[in-house]
Amino acid sequence: MVIMDNQFDIFRWASWADANKKDLMVSPFLFNKNYTPYALYTSEELEQQLKTLFLYDIISAVEMGAAIGLSVRDFAASEQAKDTLLYSELESIQNANTLVHLIEDTIGAEAFNEYEHELKRMHGIVVQFKKRSHPEQTFYIVKQLQKSQILDRNLSWQIKGDNLYMLDIDGTIKMPVDNQVLIAGGKVFAFNPKKFVGLFRQDPSRGAAVKLIIKLLTNKFALAFPEGLSLEQLANDNKSLTAALMKLDTEHLPSLGDIVDYADEMNLALTTNDEGGVVIMDSRDAMMFVNMLSDNYVDSGLTGAHYLVKNKQLISGDAQLNMNI
């Protein structure tokens, strides 16, 4: 079984992992919200429990999926559906790629220490699996840690017999039992898409939708940028811009002429070029342009002032009556 393969087959991987599970070395790491990994050291007994909690259920899920016709599809190009396993390329999921890179490229990851790193600040746990005879054949299983799954030693108690004691350990984790994320073969598999998004703070399906919106706007308004810059790049670096793009009503966009008139009316610094396209120089220009498309600028008939409105409510006769009650 080849683990790193552009044509990675998760069903072949499950068969290989099942056949080699006793020969796999287990290395768990906690990681924080910056995706910095901290090594945990375990006993042989605990390694078996980690295999049970992390590996065996995923193998079973894939093998069962093979029996019922599980479909494996690109996360960015597909919708969540029953009997579908979504995946992304590892290099496209920035935080997952960072986590793997830090584990593999660090000579002896720093050991976790509750007093220095604080368990309550940990974002997740990742277990690295390696074949003893071929350590290059490596894969990872990742699970998110919720605050409710971490017990603080200062707020937790233990019962022994009929006696109540202060917790005499640094902390306690209630390990998640569901299958969440597998990283293998240069791909990231989302067994739980919601947990995938929570773990890595990236939604591949949303990224695909944003790309379609950006393509539409770029063509319709002949968007122009400084060399080396694009609306996609600006959106990747600005979550607020991405959210604003996702809210656009793309079926009822104004014309370029209407946008230019609207900018003049609102005294907005919209720039156009000789080709009749809209010039976007930076993220502020991009956000202003998207706010215009969303009709987020209003003119007060009472004071004559111009406003940027974040939340709007269309007022009909009935709505106005209800607001006055």
Percent of the chain with pLDDT over 70: 87
Q: Hey, which residues does 125 pair with through a beta bridge?
A: 30, 143
Which of 84, 90, 71 lies closest to 3, judged by CA? 90
Residue that the structure tokens 């069962």 belong to: 64
Q: Which amino acid is at 63?
A: E
Q: Cα separation of 47 and 237, whole Å?
A: 40
Check whether 323 has a pLDDT greater than 60. no
Model confidence pLDDT, tens digit, residues 277-312: 999 999 999 999 999 998 888 776 666 666 666 666
Does residue 75 carry a pLDDT above 50? yes
- With a CB cutoff of 8 Å and minimum separation 6, the contacts of 256 are 220, 221, 222, 276, 278
pLDDT of residue 318: 55
Query: Above 80 in pLDDT, residue 45?
Result: yes
Contact 312, 296 (CB under 8 A): yes
Among 40-44, 95-99, 129-133, 301-305, which stretch is predicted with the lowest mean pLDDT? Answer: 301-305
More confident residue, 227 or 147: 227
| The pair of three-digit structure tokens given for residue 113, joined into one six-digit string | 């220490």
Q: Averaged over 36-52, what is the pLDDT?
A: 91
Mean confidence (pLDDT) of the chain: 86
Amino acid 2: pLDDT: 37
pLDDT at 98 over 80: yes
Residue 116: predicted pLDDT: 85
Residue 171 CA to chain centroid, in angstroms? 27
Tens of pLDDT, residue by residue over 215-270, are 999 999 999 999 989 998 898 788 889 889 988 999 999 999 999 999 998 888 99
Q: Does the pLDDT value for residue 319 go beyond 60?
A: no
Would you call 253 exposed, middle or buried from its count of C-beta atoms within 10 A (0-12, 13-18, 19+)? middle
